[in-house]
A and B are shown apart, each in its own frame.
Chain A
Amino acid sequence: MTDPIEFNEEEFTTQFNGRTFMRILAQAKPHWRTVVAFLIAIALVSFLDSYFTFLSKRMIDEGIVARNQAALLRIATQYGALILLQSGAVFGFIYAAGVLGERVQYDVRKKLFNHLQDLSFAYFDRTPIGWIMSRLTSDVERLGWLVSWGLLDMVWGLANILSAIYFMTIINWRMALIVFMALPILLMVAVQFKKRILVQFRLVRKLNSKITGSYNENITGVRVVKALGREPQNLNEFIDLSDDRYQAGYRAAMLSALFLPVVQLISALAIGSIVVAGGLQARYGGITVGGIQAFISYVTFMMWPIQDIARVYAETQHAIASGERVFSLMDAVPEVHDRPQAASVDSIRGDIIFEHVDFYYEENKPVLQDFSLHVREGETIALVGPTGGGKSTIINLLCRFYEPCKGVIRIAGRDYTQLSLHSIHSRLGIVLQSPHLFSGTIRENIRYGRLDASDADVEAAARLTGAHEFIIHLQHGYDEEVGEGGVLLSVGQKQLVSLARAVLADPDIFIMDEATSSVDTITEALIQQGMERMMRDRTSFVVAHRLSTIKRADRIIVIEDGRIKEMGSHAELIRQKGHYYRLYTRQFRRERTQTLDLLGETTAAPV
């Protein structure tokens, strides 16, 4: 299978993609005032950090060395006032940048989610949910980081270095030259380190998820493992994996542990040179005591902005890779979309006609070929046949989740691509094989069928489908939570709820994909009863497995290999003694065996 999209999580661009970078920055455009505000705040904070060192120098030179307490106190007062100012700026930049980061995340997530709602089925078929989830979580986070903290750290680092350079030049430009020489070396070393550290950390993350997967499989399959006595080999395989993880973690830690000391050492060489040069300069009065102190401070603390700049530089590359993935999702075009002059209609009642429809999910692998079918209004059609024969595809086309590759589908006399998607979808009622419920209460789930329905309407729909009975026996009745995906309900109960949901929608076309798994007899009867109500006076399509459902249909269509093999009423098809006949007899035996509950009656006395 070849995927059009690369689903590799760890893939990232090594070269700097300027267009993507600009596009990421553009996400902050609506909030540019905040950006300007925090950039000014951080530049101020950064400048003050350098200025404080300069003030310390003046305290030494003008206060201590000059033995002038008044001057000392004057400078200290200034110092104190600036600390207050700086704190204000710190408050400002943390809050502004942080909120901006969150806000951009919020914006991008919203855009992505809204766009996702418009994408077609084809997109969801070829894109794993996990992939989409990562785009909306970790990737969006990285974008938010780049436009806030990333930008901020970069500006802080640059402003810090620039202002330090400025003050050093003022104090003694000759000695400043020594620092200038060390700077590019420091930066280069730091960037190389950070890049490598980041690569190791990514490797660690990747191996961590492999380890989790390995645990997961061994625990879920523990019965097989034990039965086959595979414990020793499994452990050996795991040890290989966890050794890799150890090595990666170890390398990451080594590099991190090495990074600061190396930077420190380079700075120390600069400090040593400054001491020598300073000592020489001091003989001619070229530099004061405070000046030397200031130089040492500047060089000592220079490693922080450098490490920040290196980190931001390395991480920006990953943020850009994230950006590329996020934008690929944002730019995905829905295959099924409204045509320019699509008509909005209130009702899609009428005949449904498939005219020579061809369909494939992947080229050269036809699923439906020259499929034609005319369904009259109000008819009930049962679709039967083997898995993969094309039943679900017919339903997907009918619902216009996909459109025919060739041929036309007409609803109520019009090619359905001339109608708006909303007019079609809002008039459908669908019950899926494994019904999907949303976490929330039962009431909320039924109301999904018609959002403005009153509580009474909801209850009426539940009564009509027979769901009411089991609902009122739940502890909280209609307000019972169904859990994530409806896990707290049984399959049968979920079907009843989703049937009620469809009833509430009062659709023009009803579509049901029957569950293959068995549900208990009473629930089964209720479902049948509910279905019957739904099918009574609307055009209905049922992917049928139950005999009662099949027999109730006006027409039964046996689909195999994308074609209609047999079509007709139950009696007609039985008479043909073909596919349907075999299918029917087999299902008859199965259902009767189940309903008779053969072994449940074996209560005779023990032998």
Chain B
Amino acid sequence: MTISSDVATFDLKQALAPNRLQGLWKMMTGFRLIYVMATLSLGIAAISKTATYLLLRYFIDKVLGTNAPLSKLILVGLGFVGLALLESGFTFLSGWLAAKTAEGTALRMRNYLYDHIQRLSFSYHDKIQTGELIQRATSDVEAVRRFFADQAIGLGRIVVLFIVNFIAIAKLNWSLAWRSVLVVPVLVIISYFFFGKVSKRYQAYQEQEARLSTTLQENLSGVRVVKAFARQDFERQKFEEDNWEKFLRGRHLLFMHSLYWPSSDILAGAQMLGGFVLGAIMAIRGEITVGTYMAYSGMVIWIIWPMRNLGRLIVQMSTGLVSYNRVAEIVKEEREALDVGDYQPQGPYRGEIVFDHVSFAYEEGQPVLDDISFHCLPGQSVALLGSTGSGKTSLVNLLPRFYDYTAGSITLDGVELKRYPRQYLRSQIGIVEQEPFLFSRTIRENIAYGVGRRISDEEVFAAARAAAIHDVILSFPDGYNTLVGERGVTLSGGQKQRIAIARALLRDPRILILDDATSSVDPETEGDIRAALRRLMAGRTTFIIAHRIQSVMNADQILVMDKGRIIQRGDHASLMAEAGPYRRIYEMQARIEEELADELESSVD
């Protein structure tokens, strides 16, 4: 089954409503008719079922014992089969349509949320927790799905069964009818309170289960400590306590169940038996026929027994409503526009960048960048030197418009940066980080990730060779098809970095950002990485973020940053010529070498 495209692409923002039930109704857009039909089918199924009992009445009163011809008997028998066909057909139909609605809306929510989340701004992702987002996109969507699939329709079923059968009984005999439902309100109230209580105990039970899992998890991940201190018995004791507590809470929960079900049995059973006796006496007195009595005794079951589950559904539905809210909160957030911008250049840009009195703050009143101005020609390299928190990364984050500057102006090839669509900007900026994030896919897929065109194996190999990672990859069991991460190989920081370099080579960006990519890699491969980076930088405007002189010495322009400001600028030679922080750092590094020499000498003495 597929869903038509305008239903599938329905913007969930239109499904936001202050009232949660109204919101859920809007969430069903495109499926409402189907859902209404599901409810109607329920009604038809219920009526068919009730009609079966009326046919039974006819059979008992008018056919049985009247020496009716065989053909009439067969006709009645076929009547039963026919009604059953009707009932089961519509029961299926309602189940099918409800499933279509539930699965369809859930599918739409999942797809929408996935896209929505990856298009929310950096600032949003900075403040939200991953686990929280995932929870909402999975468990809460699932809760909404169940709301449509089981709960709302289940509630409808109970209500429809009650109405149809009550009307039928009332038509047969009114005084029997109202006496048959005396206990129903009591049953509903009791079940509502019971399931409210049970859900609390169930929660306590699940909390304990989570605690037990934590204890287990900690024991398993701390197995070295446990063994090293020979604390097995202590651990057993600890687990025993949590394990026993879970048992106790389970028993506590079960006790509630073992009280509710028999007592509601007694209540419902007494009501039924009362009805039977009443009906039977009426039948004996000739007020109703035997057939009527039998129809009644069949129908009354469908009024009373389902009521015992009503409370459960109501309690469960309230969790569906809460989940709707949690999903709606994400949907409310504004996306970052990727293709909005009034300047649409043809072909790649040259990469001339001018910062003119640029300031930026994540939060108002707390500037992270303050009055930054510099000019960078196409193909030049700019090095940003500074300590952690000096604003280096914030500065380069402005280029792909991860964040927008709050004052001043940045121009790219003479055009204001904010006029470029984000997508266009990002397609021509390559970033290599110190410890790049890789996806749990194959190495080949990671290299080709985000290149945005079909890439031949030869191209991938060539890029990997240029990044000095080809041979390493071939040494893995599955070569380029080796999975990265938990289910495959664990790569070292330097290896990850070189994969990111290979990716950047394939993407062939005009602007390159090397975020601390030259420090703190395995010493064995430092040379390889440097060479790979040099190849990558050739002919591109490059920003180098570093906190070591060696990494920035060869840059065309060096900006020394502190507390969001540029405190010194120039190339290596000019900076060395003036007294200032740059020379001081350089001298200090030289001093370390002297110290080392002294140290080595004294060791040998």
Q: Is residue A261 within 8 Å, beta carbon to beta carbon, of the partner chain? A: yes
Q: Which of A110-118, A181-189, A464-472, A522-530 contacts B (4 or more CB under 8 A)?
A: A110-118
Please report which residues of chain B, range 565-605, place their CB below 8 angstroms from some CB of chain A when the two chains form the complex.
Answer: 565-569, 580-581, 584-585, 588-589, 592-593, 595-596, 599-600, 603-605
Residues of A within 8 A of B125 (CB): 219, 222-223
Inter-chain CA distance A363–B240, complex, in Å, is: 38
Per-position contact with B for A227-268: 1 when CB-CB < 8 Å, else 0?
111110111001100110111011001101110111011011
**In the complex, per-residue mask of B444-468: 1 if CB is within 8 Å of any chain A CB, else 0:** 0000011010000000000000000
Let me know if B562 is at the binding interface, CB within 8 A: yes
Instruction: Report if A485-B218 is in contact (Cβ < 8 Å); known contacts: A137-B213, A222-B125.
Output: yes
B407: CB under 8 A from chain A? Answer: no
Contact B64–A64 (Cβ < 8 Å): no
Shortest Cβ gap from B109 to chain A (Å): 10
Closest to B390 in A: A599
State the CA gap A224–B110 with chains docked (Å).
21
The answer to whether A603 and B562 have CB atoms under 8 Å apart is yes
- State whether the Cβ of A574 lies closer than 8 Å to any Cβ in chain B: yes
What are the interface flags for B293-322 relative to A under an 8 Å C-beta threshold, 1 for contact and 0 otherwise?
Answer: 110011000000000000000000000000
Pick the residue among B94, B429, B503, B567 that contacts A602 (CB under 8 A).
B567
Q: Is B36's CB within 8 Å of the partner chain A?
A: no
Given known A-B contacts A73-B277, A133-B213, A261 and B225 have beta carbons under 8 A apart: no
Q: Identify which of A113, A235, A257 contacts B118 (C-beta below 8 A).
A: A235
Which B residues touch A218, using CB under 8 A? 114, 117-118
How many residues of chain B are within 8 Å of chain A by beta carbon?
A: 158
**Interface of A, helix, strand, loop or mixed by DSSP:** helix
Return chain A residues, CB-CB under 8 Å to B137.
Answer: 215
The answer, among B73, B134, B227, B427, for a CB contact under 8 Å with A212, is B134
Evaluate contact between B81 and A215: CB separation under 8 angstroms: no
Residues of B near A110 (CB, < 8 A) are 239-240, 243
Would you call A605 an interface residue if the criterion is a C-beta within 8 Å of the partner chain's C-beta atoms?
yes
| Shortest beta-carbon distance from A519 to chain B in Å | 15
Question: Would you call B43 an interface residue if the criterion is a C-beta within 8 Å of the partner chain's C-beta atoms?
Answer: no
- Check A571 for interface membership: any CB of B closer than 8 A: yes
Specify which of A113, A422, A605 lies most central, judged by the most chain B CB atoms within 10 Å of its CB.
A113
Given contacts A117-B232, A600-B387, contact A257 B99 (CB under 8 A): yes
Roughly how many angstroms separate A498 CA and B91 CA in the complex, as a whole number?
64
- Is A585's beta carbon under 8 Å from chain B? yes
Residues in A whose Cβ lies below 8 Å from that of B10: none
Please provide the chain A residues from 382 to 401 with a CB less than 8 Å away from any CB of chain B in the complex: 386-387, 399, 401
Contact A124 B76, beta carbon cutoff 8 Å = no
Tell me which residues across on chain A come within 8 A of B568, comparing CB atoms: 604, 607
Q: Across the two chains, which residue of chain A brings its CB closest to B400?
A: A227
In the bound assembly, the distance between CA atoms of A231 and B297 in angstroms comes to 62
In the bound complex, how far is the Cα of B228 from the Cα of A79, in angstroms?
67
Q: Is A473 in the interface zone, CB < 8 Å from B?
A: no
Whole-angstrom CA separation of A68 from B133 in the bound complex: 69
Q: Which of B259-267, B342-350, B411-419 contacts A (4 or more CB under 8 A)?
A: B259-267
- Determine if A216 is an interface residue (Cβ-Cβ < 8 Å): yes
A76 to B272, CA, bound (A): 11
Q: How distant is A433 from chain B, measured CB to nearest CB, in Å? A: 10
Mask of B406-433 contacts with A, CB within 8 angstroms, 1/0? 0000000000000000010011010100
For the complex, what is the distance from the CA of A226 to the CA of B107, rounded to whole Å? 24
Which residues from 317 to 354 on chain A have a C-beta closer than 8 Å to any C-beta of chain B?
Answer: none
B338 touches A231 (CB 8 A): yes
In the complex, chain A residues whose CB is within 8 Å of the CB of B60: 289, 292-293
Q: What is the CA–CA distance of A386 and B523 in the complex, to the nearest angstrom?
A: 10
Question: B567: which of A229, A275, A387, A606 is its contact (CB, 8 Å)?
Answer: A606
CB distance A267 to B84 under 8 Å?
Answer: yes
Say yes or no: A63-B284 contact (C-beta < 8 A), given A216-B134, A225-B118, A600-B387: yes
Chain B residues with CB under 8 A of A578: none
CB neighbours of A98 from chain B (8 A): 250-251, 254, 257-258
Q: Report if B226 contacts A (CB, 8 A).
A: yes
Does B156 interact with chain A (Cβ within 8 Å)? no
Q: Any chain A CB within 8 A of the CB of B280?
A: yes
**B99 A606 Cβ-Cβ under 8 A:** no
A83-B270, A250-B103 known; A602 vs B604 contact (CB < 8 Å): no
How far does the alpha carbon of A226 sit from the alpha carbon of B115 in the complex, in Å? 12
Instruction: State whether the Cβ of A19 lies closer than 8 Å to any Cβ in chain B.
Output: no
Partner of B130, one of A137, A219, A293: A219
- Please report which residues of chain B, range 91-131, place their CB below 8 angstroms from some CB of chain A when the two chains form the complex: 91-92, 94-96, 98-100, 102-104, 106-107, 110-111, 114-115, 117-119, 122, 125, 130
Binds B, one of A10-18, A29-37, A87-95, A158-166: A87-95
A65-B290, A227-B429, A598-B588 are contacts. A588–B596 as well, Cβ < 8 Å? Answer: yes
Distance between A217 CB and nearest chain B CB, rounded to angstroms: 6
Asked if B214 lies at the interface with its beta carbon under 8 angstroms from chain A, I say yes
Q: How large is the interface on A (under 10, 10 to 19, 20 to 34, 35 or more residues)?
A: 35 or more
Within 8 Å CB of B193, what residues of A?
Answer: none
- The answer to whether B220 has its CB under 8 Å from any CB of chain A is yes
Interface hub of A211, A227, A297, A432 (most chain B Cβ within 10 A):
A227
Question: What chain A residues lie within 8 Å of B63 (beta carbons)?
Answer: 279
Question: Across the interface, do A113 and B243 meet the contact criterion of CB distance under 8 Å?
Answer: yes
Interface segment, B23-31, B360-368, B435-443, B530-538?
B435-443
In A192-235, the 8 Å CB interface with B consists of 208, 211-231, 233-235
* Contact yes or no, B91 A264, CB < 8 A: yes
Q: Which residues of B contact A372 (CB under 8 A)?
A: none
- On chain A, the residues within 8 Å of B149 by CB distance are 253
Q: What string of 1s and 0s marks CB contacts (under 8 Å) between A550-562 and chain B?
A: 0000000000000
Which residue, of B450, B452, B565, B585, has the highest number of chain A Cβ atoms within 10 A?
Answer: B450
**A250 and B224: CB pair below 8 A?**
no
A88 to B323 alpha-carbon distance, docked (Å):
39
The answer to the question of A272 belonging to the interface, with a C-beta cut-off of 8 Å to chain B, is: yes
Q: Is the CB of A99 within 8 A of B251?
A: yes
Q: Give min CB distance, A594 to chain B, whole Å.
A: 10
Q: How far is the CA of A225 from the CA of B262 in the complex (A)?
A: 57
* B118 partner residues in chain A, CB cutoff 8 A: 218-219, 222, 225-226, 231, 234-235
Contacts of B284 in A (CB 8 A): 63-64, 67-69, 72
- B174 on the A face (CB < 8 A): no
9-residue interface stretch from A101-109, A373-381, A534-542: A101-109
Q: Mark B506-538, 1 if CB is under 8 A from A, else 0.
A: 010000000000000001100000000000000
Any chain B CB within 8 A of the CB of A296?
Answer: yes
**Interface presence of B89 (CB below 8 A):** yes
| Given known A106-B243, A575-B604, A585-B596, contact A607–B569 (CB-CB < 8 A) | yes
- Known A-B contacts A94-B257, A246-B107; the reply to A601 vs B584 at CB < 8 A is yes
* Chain B residues near A492 (CB-CB < 8 A): none
Q: Note all chain B residues with C-beta closer than 8 A to A245.
A: 107, 110
Q: Is A129 a contact partner of B269 (Cβ separation < 8 A)?
A: no
- 1/0 per residue, CB under 8 A from B, across A125-142: the answer is 000010011001100000
Q: Give the distance to chain A from B555, nearest Cβ to Cβ, in Å.
A: 16
Contact B426 A226 (CB under 8 A): yes
Shortest beta-carbon distance from A57 to chain B in Å: 10
User: Which of the segments A305-313, A403-411, A423-431, A455-463 contacts the partner chain?
Assistant: A423-431
A220 to chain B, nearest CB (A): 6
B218's contact among A223, A256, A484, A498, by CB below 8 Å, is which?
A: A484
6 nearest CB pairs, A to B: A228-B450, A257-B95, A268-B84, A261-B88, A253-B99, A599-B387
> Can you name 30 A-B residue pairings with CB atoms under 8 Å?
A60-B280, A64-B293, A83-B269, A94-B258, A94-B262, A106-B247, A117-B219, A117-B232, A121-B227, A215-B117, A217-B439, A221-B437, A223-B402, A227-B400, A231-B118, A233-B450, A254-B96, A257-B99, A268-B81, A272-B80, A275-B80, A276-B76, A280-B70, A289-B64, A439-B214, A484-B218, A575-B604, A588-B599, A593-B589, A599-B386
Q: Other CB < 8 Å A-B pairs besides A234-B114, A289-B294, 8 of them?
A: A63-B280, A121-B224, A218-B118, A219-B133, A230-B449, A282-B64, A426-B229, A430-B229
